[in-house]
Homo-oligomer: A and B are copies of this chain.
C-alpha cells in the first residue's frame, strides 16, 4: 500500500566536526521517501526551484519514488545551512530560505487523493491540514512537527492533532507541546490531544512510544561514529511509516517493529553526509542491522538462555 508524503525537498549546507558538505540533497521528504521506499511505494508532494538538479530528481525516480507531485516553480529551491556543535545533539541554524516553498499550496493528483497512508512532514499545521483535507479516506495519518509551530502556530496544530493517528516529535518539543517536563507525563498528555500514538524521538537515546496499549521504550542503535545527524528523524519516520504501510495498518506489533526499523534506518543515515548512505542500502544491509539491533536490545535473552 502506498504512502503520500508532503514536506520539503531542498539543499543543505551542513558543517560538523567531521567535515562539511555544501548544497547537498536534503529536506524532510527526501529523507522520508528514501527510507520509506524500502518498505512501500511512496508518492511525494513538494516544490523545488529551477535550480533543482536533474541528477537529484533521477535519484528519486530510479528508486521508484513517484515524483509527479514534485512541482518545479520559478525561483530557487529551499535551502538550509546548519552547524553542529562538538556535542552533535546541538546545532545552530546559520540560514534558512524557504524560497519556492514559501507559498506552496499543493493540489493533489486524483490518485494521491485516494491514498491510504499519509505522512505530513514538518511544515506549517495549516499546510498539513490543507493537504490532509484533500485525501478522501486515509487509513493512517502521521505527522511531524517542531518547536517553531508549537510556539507560533499552536491553535492550528491543536486543530490538526485530532485528525491524525500518529505524531512524531522530539523530547523538547513533547515537553513544550504538553507543558510537562516529565516525558512520560508529556507523552500521555499529548495522547489526549488527539493522536492514538505519540513517538518521542530522543536522538542517541532512542525512542519512547505512547500508544493505547501503553509504553514502548527502545534505545538508539549505538554507533562508533556519527558523521552528520541531519535527517535522522525524517528517516526514522520514513522507515516506521513504510513498515506500517507494508503491514497494511496499525497494530501494537506493527508499531513496535516499525519503530525498530526506524531506529535501524536512522542509524544508517547519520553515517554519511546528506542521503548518501541512505540512498545506497541493500535489503541485506537493513536486515543484518535489524537482527543486530534485536540482539543488542534483547533483555529476554532468547539467544542466550542456552548458555
Contact = CB atoms under 8 A, between A and B. Distances in A.
A65 B218 CA distance: 35
Q: What is the size category of the interface that chain A forms with chain B?
A: 35 or more
A300 B176 CA distance: 32
Contact of A184 (B181, B216, B223, B260): B223
A296 B214 contact: yes
A298 to B, nearest CB: 7
Interface in A89-129: none
**What is the total number of copies of this protein in its complex?**
2
Contacts of A220: 217
Contacts of A253: 301, 304-305, 307
Given A215-B222, A219-B206, A307-B251, A256 B298 contact: yes
A217 B300 CA distance: 12
Contacts of A152: none
A137 interface: no
A214 to B, nearest CB: 7
Given A219-B206, A251-B304, A304-B253, A225 B299 contact: no
Contacts of A301: 252-253, 256-257
A171 to B, nearest CB: 10
Interface in A177-234: 181-185, 202, 205-206, 208, 213-220, 222-226
A282 interface: no
Interface in A129-184: 181-184
B296 A297 contact: no
A260 to B, nearest CB: 5
Contacts of A307: 251-253
Interface string A243-282: 0000000011100110110000000000000000000000
A294 interface: yes
Contacts of A181: 86
A18 to B, nearest CB: 11
A182 B204 CA distance: 11
B299 A260 contact: yes
Interface in A31-62: none
Contacts of A205: 202, 205-206, 219
Contact of A183 (B202, B218, B222, B299): B222
A216 B218 CA distance: 12
A166 B294 CA distance: 24
Contacts of A219: 205-206, 217-219
A217 B202 CA distance: 15
- The interface centre, meaning the residue of A214, A218, A305 with most chain B CB atoms within 10 A of its CB, is A218
Interface of A: 86, 181-185, 202, 205-206, 208, 213-220, 222-226, 251-253, 256-257, 259-260, 293-302, 304-305, 307
